[in-house]
A and B are shown apart, each in its own frame.
Chain A
Amino acid sequence: MFGKMFNATLERIRTSAFKITQNCKSADCHSVLYMIPHGRRCLSTSSCLYGKVLPRKKPRVVHEIAGLEPITYADRMHFVPGLAKPRFPPWVRGWKDPSHYQSPKLEDMPLHKDKPCYIFNQRTNVLEGVRQALWLSKSVLIKGLPAQILTLAEDPVNQIENQDERVQNAIKNSRLWDTTEHRPPRERFCPSLLHRLLHLCGDLQVTRPELAKRILAEKYSLAASWRRGENMFQVRGQNGLLLNSMTPVPVLAGEEQIQSTADQALETFYPIEPTIDLQCTNVYQEKNDTGFREGYPYPHAHTLFLMEMGNTPKLFPEQLRAKMVMFAFGNALARAQGLYGKEPRVLEKPFVVQSVATNGRLFQFVVFQLNTTDLQSDSGVKNLVWVDEDQPLYEFAKVRPYIKKKVVKVPAGLAGYQPNTFKKFLALYLHGAS
């Protein structure tokens, strides 16, 4: 507020000076940049000092001498030249006002710990992608979906009637016909397509009543924590749609495959540490929470659906797959630690969590099998991850055709539909309900 007063004063000086220079046009006046309002030049100082605005001088440094109390004008309640400026203690409101809360420093917070924790949250964009997620979850990668799911996909009994036509209708509905504007944005057509495909899959409930024993949950907060090496890691946050079921997903890998993972080594990427890009914090709580309360009728996590819509933050396919692996692992670990407790052990009945991620066109499929919660060391039985990358459901869905030099390169409407992608999607949905 006082700054405005100062500027207004300067403006008044400048405007009055401008009027004076207009009257006297002599060469002397040109060298002086501005004059004081009563029209006289100050000849006691040199003109180069006088006309310029000097740079601000730094305020005088007041040194604190220990043991000496400065005499201030606090008692006199007004400025007295020669006495020191009083320094009052910071004002305390005295009562708790919720709209004016000042949080304590990080060191004073009750959950502050000496050892830092690395948290993978829904905004994390890991540098090394799936390799980093595999190291963090102590897993081994297998490319392609497991054989049981592929047989489910190829089996003609598991198809919906008019499957291809209905899927293409669903794509056209969400990509072309959903808006009165030119074309719907990704934030609109991606969730719309996913919900339409899920609705289509639910059509098979007529023949398989076990499919009805499932529920979709949105906006649930996951928390899972584990130790790896000397560091503590956590997976936290709301990630996406979770399909919960009353029965657990059947185990995919046999005993000998699980034991053979003990011989495979985990991949490291020197010089980059596996903790890069994770949120490092000293204030945390070691929580293990599935996001659902005790006695929830659908306790087993079946499939996690992630949507990548290009906002907060935009994830490349590699990073999206890493996010899928980490959250599938987090779901499995939270449930394992809820059932068996926190001590690390090799599980006799491994947990399987599936995950599907899409950006509206490309689908990524991940199946995670949790074999062990003993994640401290790098040796021993490891978890298994099956990843099927970058499956396009269709190539183009254009509202207006793409024309270059009067030749139609891509026609309007849906082009390049791949039926296999939806078969895999349906197989993942049907897995566990035979």
Chain B
Amino acid sequence: MSVCVLSRALSALSLSLRTASAQIASVSGVPAGLSRGFMTSVCVCQNRSLWKQREKYSVRPIGMKKTGGRDYTGRIVTNGIGGGHKQRYRMIDFQRLRYEPGRENQPIVEKVLEVRYDPCRSADIALVAGGSRKRWIIATESMEAGDLIRTSSAIGRMAVLAREGDSHPLGALPVGTLVNNLELYPGKGAQYIRAAGTCGVLLRKVNGTAIVQLPSKHQIQVLEQCVVTVGRVSNVDHSKRIIGKAGRNRWLGIRPSSGRWQRKGGWAGRKIRPLPPMKSFISPPAASART
């Protein structure tokens, strides 16, 4: 018992040391975090972002914390965000070519179990099961429960007859296919063309690389081993929806913009200008290769 009394006294002592240092820092007019020479460490782990720190993949929806456009200091960083219906986040697997541990190099065939609405994005999501795992993926246009979808990484000399919903590397698809969920680097996971109703077009294939036109008409060049899904993303009529009332925008978590009328400057209005040059995402050759 005396041991815990002593330890409590010692901890109180160390507390008072830290309070003293903070008070000294504030009196001298310097914010406490910038003062050197004291063992200051603000708690980095914040409860506000713990819900997104989960490493293990799970199919069950996860409760989200809304930020309201505020960052860790509490200030509004992005205007127009706040409120809205509560949403639960479903972890989507954007890397289609992900093998199950223990079944590498076997062809991936999966069955679509259900296609449902996702509150976190405009596209619909599909629950697919293959082997002994289930995962969520972005659904394509005519995906229905009971379909079988294939994912492969093989690039043959002949182009594959692309079926909608299947996933192949760009080098294996015929030129002119509509694609979505495009990876920039092989194995990184899809980052482009994920919104509802969008699709990119495979324009041409040039020795080891492929050139894809994005929905914004920009063209990018990526390695041909990057895996894409064939077809258009689901929920094609998303762009035709009418919000109808201010309340529906508030349900979506969009706060009103400041009603102040301002004369718009040169940044507003339609611009007609040539396309920017094609962006290339091929890593430069290694330093040893350069002579």
Contact = CB atoms under 8 A, between A and B. Distances in A.
B290 interface: no
The A interface, classified by DSSP as helix, strand, loop or mixed, is loop
A9 interface: yes
Nearest to B37: A81
Most A Cβ at <10 Å: residue of B33, B36, B38:
B33
Given A276-B132, A276-B134, A280-B132, A3 B29 contact: no
Contacts of B38: 79
Given A2-B18, A2-B40, A13-B31, A276 B109 contact: no
Interface string B17-48: 01100100110010111001111111100000
B130 A272 contact: yes
Interface string A289-309: 000000000000000000000
A255 interface: no
A271 interface: yes
- Counting contact residues on chain B (CB < 8 A from A), the size range is 20 to 34
Interface residues of A, number: 26
B129 interface: yes
A38 B29 contact: yes
A12 interface: yes
Interface string A273-297: 1011110100000000000000000
A3 B72 CA distance: 13
A66 interface: no
Contacts of B33: 6
A276 B129 contact: yes
A2 B130 CA distance: 49
B93 to A, nearest CB: 16
Given A79-B37, A271-B109, A6 B22 contact: yes
B162 interface: no
B148 interface: yes
Contacts of B22: 2, 5-6, 9
B111 interface: yes
Given A53-B75, A276-B134, A9 B29 contact: no
A277 B127 CA distance: 14
Nearest to B75: A53
B179 to A, nearest CB: 23
B2 interface: no
Query: Most A CB atoms within 10 A — which of B25, B130, B132?
Result: B132
B59 to A, nearest CB: 10
Contacts of B131: 271-273, 276
Interface in A220-271: 270-271
A272 B33 CA distance: 55
B271 interface: no
B40 A275 contact: no
Given A3-B42, A3-B43, A5-B19, A12 B129 contact: no
A270 B42 CA distance: 53
Interface centre among A1, A2, A12 (most CB of B within 10 A): A2
B15 interface: yes
B136 to A, nearest CB: 15
Nearest to A127: B129
A61 interface: no
A9 B109 contact: no
Interface in A109-134: 127
A10 interface: yes
A271 B130 contact: yes
Nearest to A40: B29
Q: Which of B26, B33, B41 has the most CB of A within 10 A?
A: B26
Contacts of B18: 1-2, 5
A37 B130 contact: no
Contacts of A127: 113, 129, 134
Contacts of B75: 53
A235 B29 CA distance: 67
Contacts of A81: 36-37
Given A9-B26, A9-B31, A13-B31, A2 B109 contact: no
Given A5-B32, A9-B32, A38-B29, A271 B134 contact: no
B110 interface: yes
B197 to A, nearest CB: 28
Contacts of B111: 271-272
Contact of B43 (A2, A9, A276): A2
Contacts of A278: 132
5 contacts: A5-B32, A6-B22, A127-B113, A271-B130, A272-B111
Given A127-B134, A272-B129, 18 more contacts: A2-B18, A2-B43, A5-B19, A6-B42, A9-B22, A9-B31, A36-B29, A79-B37, A79-B39, A81-B36, A127-B129, A271-B110, A271-B130, A272-B131, A273-B131, A275-B132, A276-B131, A276-B132
Enumerate the 3 nearest inter-chain pairs by beta-carbon distance, A residue then B residue, closest first.
A271-B109, A276-B132, A273-B132
